Structure 1
């Protein structure tokens, strides 16, 4: 491999497979940083590329390097004002939305996906992502890692962490209230840590025993396997005195969403939508109209709400539990995710300078 090329794990829609390709190292534009990737982690959204879905994932270039969750070290910069706020050697994390303005009301308060320019693209889907040795990232969506976060292991915080933090925080619960974390894997194990750091009482729900063990390690007060324990809904109602104050669903399971209303406290409880199932959700309009429960969404963040999540993580020692692999082992990571055999997050650590 020459000094101008690198290895990248690229999805090719023509055969619906990954290929470890040798590709050129990109050059940063005026507003971009060139980052030597240190840690890239796998998100369920990455795996959705291989599946039929109608939830809005748009593939752009083909083939495309997958991965939208990483940390790394700045090794080059464009000449613009945003890029010059960083220096070579800075350890950084970043979000994957690019080509948006970062300044309109939607970018600032909703999500970069709805930028008024209509030009937003997502690295890892419509442009090359982070399962490659170097990547260019928008300096406006990047931040220097706070003290206490390790560039070699912090990648999950820059999608899963920001998503899980806001999934819990946006429920607006008070300390001592009950939250159900549905799906205790890559997102949920972080959500449980955030919930406990915010003083909440937590019930962890999953269908994989290893994920429930992870939930207990992260501080969940009670855990239930919703397949093996036929009485889990009754037990949740009994423990919480009538239902949880919020149910935060981190899964891609439509059935788990269908099960949520039964465990939410009537009249004041909240269903927080985070995970994206392959099929659209079905909600009972009468339940919503009569106030049985409320529905709210929480997404993977913008550069404006990224920093509070990351700084909270550093302050409260929120640690992603991550199993590490080599770049060429990414297909194995995807297989483990699809078979529900993984605990926590799975990531690649890039060795060398």
Structure 2
């Protein structure tokens, strides 16, 4: 690694342009940190399915930038270069290896910021990098120091980026089910999020069934420690087999996919009366639930907070303790369109990221 400080005033960035709904490799100014911000030299930025949602019909209320061009990417890690005012007491030093979340311009102190999600901050001013402000598929970025942390010993800065969205989301999708050791969990969707969910579930002492339609995702599920896997497209009896394996149904089904059908299929494998459907993945179309099932207590429906500065640290420290990292393939910045194509075709295994040297 050479000098952290930029040697020029501009940098290349992969930017989404709303005018033609395409990605463009643009030359843009290197930013200057504002109050509470760190200037970070990005080590790795990884691709999340939420990034791909930019190119899809916006039926789920995705808030976009008023500027037609915005750098995509909201999973990142890197090195502290400099800081704005108000950061001195937070303990960051130049050269620190850090990870960070994408919320900015929120207060970080209200009830919603502390206990729900920064999206619901009482100021109503929250912006998400990668969507309403420039994200991380660029060499330098300014992030809010209050939503950043120094990486624990043992986490590689070039591999840690996926933990700061996929990791936190998967960790809490599993942990927030509140299952005791030895209980059964179905992980629906074993790709970029799901393979991490399986690793966390196994580290928490759960028995895990991986469900997917892509052979490479099921291979990742096995490598991540799943006790059983089923291809729900090819195996017509998968629901019956899950019920038999678990003696009545899984104690929780965590859905990491953007598939409405997978949500429709999930209740059939959940243990009646005590089982949980954990909603994580966001399909283009609204999911449908049977009101009678809910009213009569057939199963419970929960959601999981996908990351604030207050629940970020437990995930990252747990990951370091249990040596949990995403299966990550590195690409060049120019190859981000290829990464998106691989994600859309379900041919990717694990997570894909750009490494900046």
Residue 13 of structure 1 is matched in structure 2 by 18
Confirm or deny: 8 A CA contact 1:176 1:201 kept in the other structure: yes
Q: Does 1:49 align with 2:54?
A: yes
1:92-103 correspondence runs (5 A): 92-103=98-109
Quote the Cα distance in structure 1 between the aligned partners of 2:89 and 2:189: 38
Residue 195 of structure 1 is matched in structure 2 by 201
Confirm or deny: 8 A CA contact 2:31 2:142 kept in the other structure: yes
Structure 1 residue 85, shift from structure 2 partner? 2.2
1:1-353 correspondence runs (5 A): 3-60=8-65, 61-81=67-87, 85-351=91-357
Quote the Cα distance in structure 1 between the aligned partners of 2:342 and 2:279: 24
Quote the Cα distance in structure 1 between the aligned partners of 2:68 and 2:7: 23
State the TM-score, normalizing by the size of structure 1: 0.98
Structure 1 residue 2, shift from structure 2 partner? 6.7
Structure 1 residue 82, shift from structure 2 partner? 5.9
- 3-state SS in 2 of match to 1:176: coil
- 3-state SS in 2 of match to 1:262: helix
Quote the Cα distance in structure 1 between the aligned partners of 2:88 and 2:54: 31
Structure 1 residue 301, shift from structure 2 partner? 1.0
Assess, with a 3 A threshold, how the Cα gap between structure 1 residues 22 and 2 changes in structure 2: closer, same or farther: farther
Assess, with a 3 A threshold, how the Cα gap between structure 1 residues 39 and 73 changes in structure 2: closer, same or farther: same
Residue 3 of structure 2 is matched in structure 1 by none
Quote the Cα distance in structure 1 between the aligned partners of 2:284 and 2:328: 25
State the TM-score, normalizing by the size of structure 2: 0.97
Quote the Cα distance in structure 2 between the aligned partners of 1:278 and 1:53: 8
Confirm or deny: 8 A CA contact 1:36 1:74 kept in the other structure: yes
Structure 1 residue 58, shift from structure 2 partner? 1.1
Cα deviations by residue, 1:45-103 (Å, 9 ceiling, x for unpaired): 00000000211111112200000000000001012146752110000000001110000
Divergent runs of 4+, >3 A: 81-84
Confirm or deny: 8 A CA contact 1:249 1:273 kept in the other structure: yes
Cα deviations by residue, 1:210-264 (Å, 9 ceiling, x for unpaired): 1000000000000000000000000000000000000000000000000000000
- 3-state SS in 2 of match to 1:48: helix
Quote the Cα distance in structure 2 between the aligned partners of 1:36 and 1:236: 46
- 3-state SS in 1 of match to 2:263: helix
Assess, with a 3 A threshold, how the Cα gap between structure 1 residues 16 and 83 changes in structure 2: closer, same or farther: farther
- 3-state SS in 1 of match to 2:271: coil
Assess, with a 3 A threshold, how the Cα gap between structure 1 residues 251 and 272 changes in structure 2: closer, same or farther: same
Confirm or deny: 8 A CA contact 1:8 1:131 kept in the other structure: yes
Quote the Cα distance in structure 2 between the aligned partners of 1:265 and 1:57: 33
Confirm or deny: 8 A CA contact 2:39 2:143 kept in the other structure: yes
Quote the Cα distance in structure 1 between the aligned partners of 2:86 and 2:325: 34
